[in-house]
Structure 1
């Protein structure tokens, strides 16, 4: 069985192909001298694109995306509330695995560029405010387990992505971590065998300055924007979040 996540080749005069993802039915194939992409949610047509090209074949990419665009671009961060708090000793490091929701992005790909033509989610998005009503940040919200072994974490295909979290406690107290805010805007998720994960590591650093806890979250070894996009690549320096509202 061909994987759903990845690049799909559309050839002239090909038979129409249908992919079922939850309540979504993705249909694509050739239409005269062009190609047609459609997506139905139930019986309702919710996305329709005509791809016009001189070539006898084109490429359609279906990839896991960060959860930032459905139903619209509301949040750039993911708020994970751990179902059970994580206790970390003073001056120590804990490595955990958890998961975040994902969206499915559909791209028209051509040579060294691509264009997002559709994006959808198999689960209704949830949001939460991190911080105060006056200065807080709206985040995509999820309640998730935390595990010390990657294999112990159950991740739903097409709905969730695995994430590795490294907590470094440099303060002189034992801490209780019940939540983490992850900057996820434009991060390129990896996939294999239709499983998805956040590449690299989420680094949560706890330190103290002037008698106050300082908590920062940074993504390491993580790419932003797809390498075959024509727009400028962002740097990892933008993938930092300061958890001033507590952890």
Structure 2
């Protein structure tokens, strides 16, 4: 459950394998997640999605369980289930932060010049099915077939969300003498709330 919660009675929220509980105390509320406890003097709580940047990574790599082959001039789009982080705030103050989805990392590139990235495996689906999702648009503007086996995209400080699901910005994958990946910063669909600063950044997949 993402968004703003008005604290009036006890609240319990499940996000993936994590459970948030807010208990009413005399004149205050107690926020509980596992061993994390914070006393809240107030009546408002915000549960917001955040990019899965654990340990300061700047890229996410998604290995496709089913690689996608695209002929010249064709395009395909769909959703991938990916990890996210959750930022729990009162006003502008973050009182808790945790990951939803498997926390895995991988080396992108060579041992000499590669970088550590957030890693996930997923299958392209026609609709968003997980708590954390990314919509990708793959288009082949080249003159020969292209095969996409993994997608590596830069992480921005902007996310979109509905009440039940979180989304990274729309990712465009362009095939033409190589593969360019663009984090558009744009919403993947209509009707979503936004948190963070919108901008666009491009990335050329080298490996």
Fold shared, TM-score > 0.5 on shorter chain: yes
Match among 86, 94, 110 for residue 68 of structure 2: 86
What is the CA-CA distance between 1:68 and the residue it aligns to? 1.7
Root-mean-square deviation (Å) = 2.6
- 1:49 is aligned to 38
**Aligned equivalent of 1:164, options 112, 120, 135:** 135
Q: CA deviation at 1:164?
A: 2.0
SS in 1 for 2:156: coil
Q: Structure 1 residues 122, 197: closer, same or farther in 2, change over 3 A?
A: closer
Does residue 132 (structure 1) correspond to residue 123 (structure 2)? The answer is: no
Render the CA deviation track for 1:178-222: whole Å, top value 9, x for unaligned.
000122232213123x133334x21112233xxxx3x22112253
Distance 2:31 2:87 in 1: 13
Residue 143 (structure 1) shift? 0.9
* Cα distance, 1:122 vs structure 2: 4.1
- Does the 8 Å contact 1:187/1:222 carry over to 2? no
Asked whether the equivalents of residues 74 and 138 of structure 1 are also in contact (C-alpha less than 8 Å), the reply is: no
Corresponding residue of 2:154: 183
Task: Give the match's secondary structure for 2:206.
Answer: coil
Segments of 5+ residues of structure 1 without an aligned counterpart are 228-232
The 5 Å alignment of 1:1-247 reads 4-11=1-8, 15-21=9-15, 24-40=18-34, 45=35, 47-52=36-41, 57-69=42-54, 73-109=55-91, 114-147=92-125, 149-150=126-127, 155-156=129-130, 158=131, 160-161=132-133, 163-192=134-163, 194-199=164-169, 201-208=170-177, 213=178, 215-222=179-186, 226=195, 233=197, 236-237=199-200, 239-245=201-207
Question: CA 1:167–1:186 in 2, change beyond 3 Å: closer, same or farther?
Answer: same
Query: How many angstroms apart in 2 are the aligned matches of 1:138 and 1:64?
Result: 22
Q: C-alpha distance in 2, partners of 1:123/1:91? A: 35
**What does the per-residue CA deviation read over 1:221-246, in whole Å, with 9 as the maximum and x for residues that have no partner?**
537x835xxxxx4x524x3222112x
Task: Name which one, 1 or 2, has greater alpha-carbon Rg.
Answer: 1
Query: Cα deviations across residues 46-99 of structure 1 (Å, max 9, x unaligned)?
Result: x222334xxxx4311112322223xxx242222111111100112433323322
Provide TM-score, normalisation by structure 2.
Answer: 0.81
Question: How many residues are treated as equivalent by the alignment?
Answer: 201
Q: Deviations over 1:92-127 (max 9, x none)?
A: 333233221222221112xxxx22221122443011
